[in-house]
């Protein structure tokens, strides 16, 4: 099977097809060849093994509401109070998560989640997080947790074959910060998720925070579409992004390792990052962006050094 077979062209939206056609024309190659080459090159660069072609997930009949794909909720929410003539105590309930892939009849009831307190030492990073390797938690996050506590639970699942151990789905930076601060107990939401749904859950929470690198976002899309062979429509529906955005983000993996490193390090803004895709010379465009930003930073530094000066 060629890499191009992994794409289902008839399922692309008109906007996504137009964006992909334009990129292919600029590269001087047919659309199928351009996308196939992009997938093959980026998969090899990221160490991802190409699987079978993405399978289309036919929507079940309308009477089955669980088949409707919704963005994954991460923070557990309490159910609304039912209107009753006499006040009754509200019993906390765990949130339910949508089933993203067909569920075999023998698999049992729908997924459920519970919130518990555990030691940070009972958690480990796992392999379903979508952020790249980080040596430590950001100092600002450590300071916030030291001041306010860990207010957002960590999403985790029980580690297979171990007793009392958990694998982090989302919240590795919060976990590292809690360990640095020496917290004895932290809240975690324990949920049963297979690898594809766990990656989607991690991606959804990190996109919601607005701090995920576009390159890490692209790597997550590549893994979902190749290693797990998810239908692109399922991915778009689960994360609340359209196909045009997913296609443009995947194209970032075609940039040079140097540019990808600058993006991951946060040296380029999101707008600057996507502008590189349309630049005739992305390397030169990035250098110009960095030079302009350096000039702004230097001007602000000099203003701040003048007694009584105010920043614009």
Same domain, 240 and 173: no
Please provide residue 157's backbone torsions phi and psi, each rounded to the nearest 5 degrees: -135, 155
**pLDDT tens-digit map of 288-308:** 999 988 766 666 666 667 665
**pLDDT tens-digit map of 106-138:** 333 334 578 899 999 999 988 888 987 666 778
Same domain, 140 and 182: yes
Instruction: Tell me the pTM.
Output: 0.61
Please provide residue 9's backbone torsions phi and psi, each rounded to the nearest 5 degrees: -65, -30
The number of helix segments (H) and strand segments (E) in the chain equals 11, 5
pLDDT computed for residue 137 by the predictor: 79
pLDDT computed for residue 29 by the predictor: 76
pLDDT computed for residue 46 by the predictor: 57
Examine residue 73 and state whether it is found in any structural domain, yes or no: no
- Which portions of the chain are predicted below pLDDT 70? 1-17, 19, 31-32, 34, 40-112, 133-135, 162, 295-304, 306-312
Q: Which domain CATH number covers 145?
A: 3.90.1530.10
Same domain, 222 and 186: no
Examine residue 217 and state whether it is found in any structural domain, yes or no: yes
Examine residue 30 and state whether it is found in any structural domain, yes or no: yes
Same domain, 187 and 235: no
pLDDT computed for residue 299 by the predictor: 62
Last residue of a domain, one of 192, 227, 253: 192
Examine residue 158 and state whether it is found in any structural domain, yes or no: yes
Examine residue 163 and state whether it is found in any structural domain, yes or no: yes
Same domain, 161 and 217: no
Number of domains in the chain: 2
Query: What angle is formed at CA 245 by the lines to CA 170 and CA 173, rounded to 5 degrees?
Result: 20
pLDDT computed for residue 211 by the predictor: 85
Q: Which domain CATH number covers 246?
A: 1.10.10
Same domain, 186 and 232: no
pLDDT computed for residue 203 by the predictor: 94
Same domain, 176 and 121: yes
Same domain, 173 and 222: no
**Alpha-carbon span 246 to 217, nearest angstrom:** 9
Encoded tokens for 169 = 């789905």
Examine residue 308 and state whether it is found in any structural domain, yes or no: no
Same domain, 186 and 230: no
**Alpha-carbon span 137 to 14, nearest angstrom:** 41
Last residue of a domain, one of 128, 159, 192: 192
pLDDT computed for residue 45 by the predictor: 59
Examine residue 235 and state whether it is found in any structural domain, yes or no: yes
Domain that holds residue 258: 1-55+213-271
Examine residue 183 and state whether it is found in any structural domain, yes or no: yes
Last residue of a domain, one of 130, 161, 192: 192
pLDDT computed for residue 27 by the predictor: 75
């Amino acid at each position: 099977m060629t890499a191009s077979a992994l794409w289902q062209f008839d399922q692309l939206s008109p906007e996504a097809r137009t964006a992909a056609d334009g990129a292919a024309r600029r590269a001087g190659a047919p659309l199928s060849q351009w996308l196939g080459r992009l997938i093959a090159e980026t998969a090899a660069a990221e160490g991802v093994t190409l699987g079978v072609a993405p399978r289309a997930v036919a929507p079940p009949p309308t009477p089955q509401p669980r088949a409707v794909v919704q963005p994954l909720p991460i923070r557990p929410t309490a159910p609304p109070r039912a209107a009753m003539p006499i006040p009754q105590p509200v019993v906390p309930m765990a949130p339910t998560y949508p089933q993203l892939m067909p569920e075999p009849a023998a698999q049992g009831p729908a997924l459920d989640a519970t919130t518990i307190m555990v030691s940070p030492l009972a958690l480990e990073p796992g392999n379903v997080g979508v952020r790249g390797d980080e040596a430590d938690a950001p100092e600002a996050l450590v300071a916030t947790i030291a001041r306010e506590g860990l207010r957002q639970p960590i999403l985790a699942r029980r580690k297979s074959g171990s007793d009392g151990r958990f694998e982090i789905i989302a919240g590795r930076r919060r976990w590292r910060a809690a360990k640095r601060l020496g917290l004895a107990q932290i809240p975690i939401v324990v949920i049963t998720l297979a690898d594809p749904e766990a990656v989607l859950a991690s991606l959804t929470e990190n996109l919601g925070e607005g701090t995920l690198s576009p390159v890490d976002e692209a790597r997550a899309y590549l893994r979902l579409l190749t290693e797990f062979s998810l239908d692109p429509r399922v991915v778009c529906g689960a994360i609340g992004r359209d196909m045009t955005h997913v296609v443009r983000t995947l194209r970032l993996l075609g940039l040079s390792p140097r540019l990808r490193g600058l993006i991951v390090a946060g040296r380029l803004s999101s707008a600057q990052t996507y502008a590189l895709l349309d630049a005739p010379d992305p390397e030169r465009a990035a250098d110009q962006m960095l030079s302009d930003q350096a000039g702004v930073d230097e001007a602000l530094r000099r203003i701040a050094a003048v007694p009584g000066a105010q920043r614009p």
